């Protein structure tokens, strides 16, 4: 069994090496986002926890909804806008939002001139998938559990 820390300073956890696992042209849209994968350093496997920073103009993700996974966010700093298919809500520190599986598609955008910092928590249900209503992309968990992105017609993205 590998040694996992009992506690860490969240801001000291290294930023995830890749800003996004989306294929291009979507990955470039995530360049103003930094994720620190807090759950992974403790070996959590049932749910993920990320400390995420969005620079001005940044997006949390493409607008999306999961088939099986629930998601939750808690705003620590800044003033992001929660954009959903049902409308928009301006958020501030101390506010939170939850997104049940198969609910409204959602994303956070930072339209302010200051960084936004928030916690995002989501479960890791096997066989999950996600749809992106505003973009020609979809994703499903492959046999190895890793995400496999395709266009909506099922065709692959060029590497």
| % of the chain with per-residue pLDDT over 70 | 98
What would the pLDDT profile of 15-27 be if each residue is shown by its tens digit? Answer: 999 989 999 999 9
Q: How far apart are CA 108 and CA 90, in angstroms?
A: 10
Give the pLDDT score at 67. Answer: 97
User: How high is the pLDDT of residue 1?
Assistant: 54
* Weakly modelled stretches of the chain, pLDDT under 70: 1-2, 159
If phi over 0 gives left and psi between -120 and 50 gives alpha, with beta otherwise, what is residue 32? alpha
- pTM, two decimal places: 0.93
Span 44-55, pLDDT tens digits: 999 999 999 999
Q: What is the mean pLDDT of the chain?
A: 95
At a CB cut-off of 8 Å and minimum separation 6, what does 55 contact? 32, 33, 110, 115
R_g of the chain computed on alpha carbons = 16
């Amino acid at each position: 069994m590998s040694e996992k820390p009992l506690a860490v300073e969240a801001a000291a956890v290294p930023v995830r090496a890749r800003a996004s696992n989306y294929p291009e042209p979507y990955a470039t849209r995530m360049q103003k986002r930094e994720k620190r994968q807090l759950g992974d350093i403790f070996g959590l496997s049932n749910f993920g926890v990320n400390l995420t920073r969005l620079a001005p103009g940044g997006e949390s993700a493409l607008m999306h909804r999961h088939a099986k996974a629930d998601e939750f966010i808690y705003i620590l700093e800044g003033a992001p806008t929660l954009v959903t298919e049902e409308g928009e809500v301006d958020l501030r520190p101390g506010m939170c939002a939850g997104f049940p599986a198969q609910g409204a598609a959602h994303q956070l955008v930072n339209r302010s001139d200051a960084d936004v910092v928030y916690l995002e928590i989501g479960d890791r249900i096997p066989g999950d998938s996600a749809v992106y209503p505003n973009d020609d992309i979809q994703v499903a968990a492959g046999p190895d559990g890793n995400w496999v992105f395709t266009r909506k017609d099922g065709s692959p993205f060029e590497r």
